[in-house]
Amino acid sequence: MKKLYEKPFITRHHGGIINKFGEPPRTQIYDSIDGIKVSELIGRFGSPLFVYSEKKIKEQYRRLLDAFTLRYPKVQHSWSYKTNYLKAVCKTFHNLGSWAEVVSDMEYEMAKKLGIEPAKIIFNGPFKPYHILKTALTEGAMVNIDGMDELYDAEKIAHETGNPVNIGIRLNMSLGTYTAWDRFGFNIDSGEAYRAVKRAVSGGKICLTGLHCHVGTFMLDPDIYRMAVKRLIEFSKLIKDEFDITIKYIDIGGGFASRNKLKGAYLPTDEITPAFDSYAEAVADELLSAIKPGELPLLILETGRALIDECASLIASVCAVKRLPSGMRAVIIDAGVNLLFTSFWYNHNILPAVDRGYVTEDHVVYGPLCMQIDVIHPQIKLPHLEKGDAVIIGPVGAYNNTQWLQFIQLRPNVVMIGENGDISVIREAETLEYLQEKERVPEWMG
């Protein structure tokens, strides 16, 4: 009998399945966070769920402070609110000794409401409306001026109040980084910074007390900080010689890399992320070798992501599984890019919280939004997860709970596991009433 014709097909080779080269690496299963079972967390607080670890926050903070204070005698950390302004997170850092670093009137008020005295609030950013600039300057906050318009405002405020005002200035310079962070502050290379200081002192109403510089974000090379600090010291010496200004603090901003995986990064995160010691060595070495012991300025750190990123995970659950036309297996989870804004630039780690065997396959992980761009991970090896299975996504502590979007879904519970094992809801899941509280339907619509 004539055989039926069957169309030939090419099967894609999936690296995670046993093949002639042997067995793939075994899947790691993480079924608990800080000793609390994921199943218990979901049972009590639902899925998706952000989980913070108080223990990890304290460990990270200690590691950063140890690295710097062992090498330099005058160090102060200031918690970067925009990185994460959940009250419980800020409070944990403040209780450890951190000041507050804010970039808006909203954040300034947040810090004050948490009991931070203005003298311990560093006010940065390119937009400080007159009223809040006046409040911050008259209350004694540490304001780092971003540009000439702000400088004129500061001068006007000094004139209005009849008192000179203390300010710091933000500086930028060419350091060979891509992208260059040149939109903030005054440029040293072009002479703009020098001219700004000259203008400020000649008005007689401004006291310049500090220099600030945030070189950029996710800086994998500690030597960038060495170069920046060198330039800041040179600049402080120039203005000392020219205008007899003594700089009391040098603020190096944030930007240390966390252990997240940047999209496009080739090497494993652990191999490319510098330890806090490497950053501290570069900065302290430069300061100590260029400045006499009695004249050392206070070194301010505004480290955000490198402290908090690894202290939070997002628990999510698989809501569907499908095969794409390409042959790729896809899982759809209940947390999307609305909750995980950082998935636009990181390939987060996604770990199964249940045992589905060790055979893995490349997967694309989608969120629940009705949008093609809702991709949490474009390609990751996972076992054959099934509907209802939980996964742990991390690290997610930096910039997600400030940049998350209210879109299609309500935002879920956020909990913190205390050092003592207690679990506390630090932000309640949103409700429809909460979401629509500020909305009004015009009366004419009936």
Ligand X SMILES: Cc1ncc(COP(=O)(O)O)c(C=O)c1O
Contact footprint for ligand X (CB under 6 A): 80, 83, 101, 124, 214, 217, 253-256, 302-306, 398
Kindly tell me which of 228 and 390 has the beta carbon lying closer to ligand X: 228
- What sign for the dihedral angle of Cα 204, 205, 210, 212? negative
Distance CA 98, CA 68 (A): 14
Kindly tell me which of 39 and 278 has the beta carbon lying closer to ligand X: 278
Q: How far is the CB of 212 from ligand X (least distance, A)?
A: 7
C-alpha distances (whole Å) from 51 to each of 41, 55, 193 are 9, 12, 43
Q: How far is the CB of 58 from ligand X (least distance, A)?
A: 18
Residue pair 278/226 in contact by the 8 Å Cβ criterion:
no
- DSSP for 85-124? --HHHHHHHHHHT-EEEE-SHHHHHHHHHTT--GGGEEE-
Residue position matching structure tokens 């009695």: 294
Distance CA 424, CA 418 (A): 8
Q: How far is the CB of 356 from ligand X (least distance, A)?
A: 35
Q: How far is the CB of 30 from ligand X (least distance, A)?
A: 25
C-alpha distances (whole Å) from 79 to each of 76, 121, 128, 131, 374 are 10, 9, 19, 23, 31
Q: How far is the CB of 147 from ligand X (least distance, A)?
A: 14
Kindly tell me which of 179 and 420 has the beta carbon lying closer to ligand X: 179
Q: How far is the CB of 8 from ligand X (least distance, A)?
A: 52
What is the number of residues in the chain? 446
Kindly tell me which of 213 and 414 has the beta carbon lying closer to ligand X: 213
Q: How far is the CB of 179 from ligand X (least distance, A)?
A: 12
Kindly tell me which of 128 and 205 has the beta carbon lying closer to ligand X: 128
Distance CA 200, CA 277 (A): 37
Nearest to 99 by CA among 124, 80, 72: 80
Kindly tell me which of 235 and 256 has the beta carbon lying closer to ligand X: 256
Kindly tell me which of 217 and 403 has the beta carbon lying closer to ligand X: 217
Distance CA 229, CA 71 (A): 15
Indicate the DSSP class of residue 420. Answer: T
Q: How far is the CB of 77 from ligand X (least distance, A)?
A: 11
Kindly tell me which of 124 and 338 has the beta carbon lying closer to ligand X: 124
**Which amino acid appears at position 389 of this protein?**
D
Kindly tell me which of 36 and 96 has the beta carbon lying closer to ligand X: 96
Q: How far is the CB of 170 from ligand X (least distance, A)?
A: 8
Residue 21: both structure tokens together: 């080269």
Distance CA 83, CA 92 (A): 14
- What sign for the dihedral angle of Cα 104, 94, 339, 220? positive
Residue pair 392/38 in contact by the 8 Å Cβ criterion:
yes
